[in-house]
Amino acid sequence: MVQLTNVKKKIGQFFLEDITFSLREGYIMGLIGENGAGKSSILKLLLGILTPEEGQISIFGTTYEENEKGIKNNVGYVLAEDGLFLGEMNLLENARLFGKYYENFSESLFCNYASEFGLKNIKVKKLSRGEYLKFQFAFALSHKPKLLLLDEPTANFDPEFRRKFLCIITDFIKDGRKSVILATHLTEDLEQIADYVTFIDHGRLLFSMDRESINKYFRMAAGEEYKINLLPKENIIYKEAGKYGTRALVKHGRWSQYDDALNITYPLLEELMYFILKGKH
């Protein structure tokens, strides 16, 4: 469904370098990285807002050069920036206006989602940040897209709506014909739902892997520091001493062996992100 191959883009003084990853139908990808890593820029490339200087982006088996209308008709999005809708118009007026650009837009579906999300039909400029993102989400779902691109929405949602949001996007892909890319630095959201994880740092791809591969390749080891130090140095990505012992993210292989005194677990995405970045810097 989505394929980026050796994509490069300069945005001011920021560079995206050789970004390559793919996502098949029926799956959710978490796009992780610190603020400013390049996640939003990648989503804008996927939306056709930005154009790559090198490399290729394919969505639904075609490119924006070949079929821009067809791609945009089937992509829904939630972005963090303002100005996507008209502030002086109310929600329904905006939905009707912009819904004309989508073949499958359903006003009744939009109204159902807006009601479910607790949105009042007021002027867009009067919406809070969280309400504005809920409005975008309701509109995105109302034109029945095949691909959802979501940029850090959950940071502005209350806990109850975050749960609802995660349930909705999980249900969205259940027919096996749709996909979601969710960019976030709140990795706990992805623990429940992400099938793939793509990790970006300073415009560079660190990895793009399915969850099973992540669990095959990485382990957290915790215990006394001298026990950690007995592990092969080349396998230790980063270690950190604390009040109750030392923890390390390690590369795990088929033949890896660990001291019985070490507590070996699969890493949470938050741990993975933290320890890899510490190891790099």
Number of neighbouring beta carbons within 10 Å of residue 217: 14
State how far the Cα of 73 lies from the Cα of 96, in Å rounded to an integer.
15
63 in a structural domain: yes
- Domain range holding 231? 214-280
User: Do 128 and 74 have their domain in common?
Assistant: yes
CATH at residue 36: 3.40.50.300
What is the sign of the dihedral through the CA atoms of 205, 218, 179 and 188?
Answer: negative
What is the sign of the dihedral through the CA atoms of 138, 139, 144 and 146?
Answer: negative
Percentage of residues in the chain with pLDDT exceeding 70?
99
Number of helices (H) and strands (E) in the chain: give both, helices first.
10, 13
* Domain-ending residue, one of 178, 202, 226: 202
User: Do 175 and 257 have their domain in common?
Assistant: no
> Given this model, what pLDDT does residue 255 score?
66
Number of neighbouring beta carbons within 10 Å of residue 41: 21
User: Do 261 and 186 have their domain in common?
Assistant: no
* Phi and psi at residue 270, to the nearest 5°: -60, -45
179 in a structural domain: yes
* Domain-ending residue, one of 139, 170, 202: 202
Number of domains in the chain: 2
User: Do 157 and 233 have their domain in common?
Assistant: no
Give pLDDT tens digits for 189-236.
899 899 999 999 999 999 999 999 999 999 999 999 999 999 999 999
Please list the residues that pair with 201 across neighbouring strands. 204
Report the phi/psi class of residue 60: left, alpha or beta, with left for phi > 0 and alpha for psi in -120 to 50: left
User: Do 219 and 268 have their domain in common?
Assistant: yes
> Given this model, what pLDDT does residue 215 score?
93
User: Do 57 and 141 have their domain in common?
Assistant: yes
Give pLDDT tens digits for 6-30.
999 999 999 999 999 999 999 999 9
CA distances to 34, 52, 143, 180 from 20, in Å: 19, 12, 29, 17
